[in-house]
Structure 1
Amino acid sequence: MSDALQPEENNGVSLRTLTHIVYGLFALGLISAGFLGVASIAAIVLAYLKRSDAAGTLYASHFDWIIRTFWWGLLWLVLSAMATWIFIGWLTGLVAIVWVVYRIAKGWLALLSGAAPSPEL
């Protein structure tokens, strides 16, 4: 008599919306110059948590792109901070920040066009 309930196909936020949220949080953390650095950390945690749900989809490449951008950017910013005592760290830090902004913009624009971020550069 009673029909079994079928699980809903679209529970919660879609992966596309979630990917936009991750890019937005990462950009907010970067724009705020560290004052809202928690937003960047939240973006990376969210990307790690949802990466397995996105496996085999277009969004998996976006989560990987964001995660790689975070870790490489953090590495170069830490190395730049250590190199500030020889004054070259300021320049390399600026280059690292520009690179992270470029990667966020490139990935987000690829998401808006429905494509995976391309790995060149």
Structure 2
Amino acid sequence: MMDPETPQKPINAPGHGQPLQSAIIIYALYGGGIVFPLAALAGLIFAYVERGKDPVLDTHLNFQIATFWWGLLAIVVGFVLAFVLIGFVIWAFWFLWLIVRLITGFQLAQANQPISGTEAMGLKAV
């Protein structure tokens, strides 16, 4: 049992291991969601559960949650427009958009850095 007078370390404290491990797992789940869509849904649920624990982690979680919802919108719009063939272009853009967001977000999480915004029309995490 912890001494009540001992202050708890924030999640981002030095020596606390990998503070953004949750974000890294969610990036992996989203990547797996390309083949197994339920993995992406599990990542979304995990992101909502983990929010509020650390401000740096929250930047990644908010980015990941937005990635899921905007991606789902692109998939649905692509499906509707696939009947006039432009939907396939939307799906191709969505796939490229997703891969770049996963890679850039993962790199920032590995470096224990927050996501301060995006570049290139939301394509790249910075």
Deviation track 1:33-70 (CA, whole Å, cap 9, x = no partner) reads: xxx2111001000000111223xx21110000000011
Q: CA deviation at 1:101?
A: 1.1
Aligned counterparts of 1:15 and 1:49: Cα–Cα separation in 2: 15
Aligned counterparts of 1:99 and 1:53: Cα–Cα separation in 2: 28
- Taking only the aligned residue pairs, the percentage that are identical comes to 23
One-letter amino acid of the structure 2 residue matched with residue 17 of structure 1: Q
Aligned counterparts of 2:53 and 2:102: Cα–Cα separation in 1: 21
Aligned counterparts of 1:110 and 1:20: Cα–Cα separation in 2: 10
One-letter amino acid of the structure 2 residue matched with residue 61 of structure 1: T
Q: Superposed, which structure 2 residues align to 1:40-59 within 5 Å?
A: 40-54=40-54, 57-59=55-57
Q: Find out whether 1:18 has 2:17 as its counterpart.
A: no
The equivalent residue for 2:94 is 96
Aligned counterparts of 2:118 and 2:80: Cα–Cα separation in 1: 28
The equivalent residue for 1:78 is 76
Gaps of 5+ in 1: none
The equivalent residue for 1:119 is 118
Gaps of 5+ in 2: 10-16, 121-126
RMSD of Structure 2 on Structure 1 (CA) = 2.1
Aligned counterparts of 2:18 and 2:112: Cα–Cα separation in 1: 14
The equivalent residue for 1:6 is 2
TM-score, structure 2 length as denominator? Answer: 0.77
The equivalent residue for 1:38 is 38
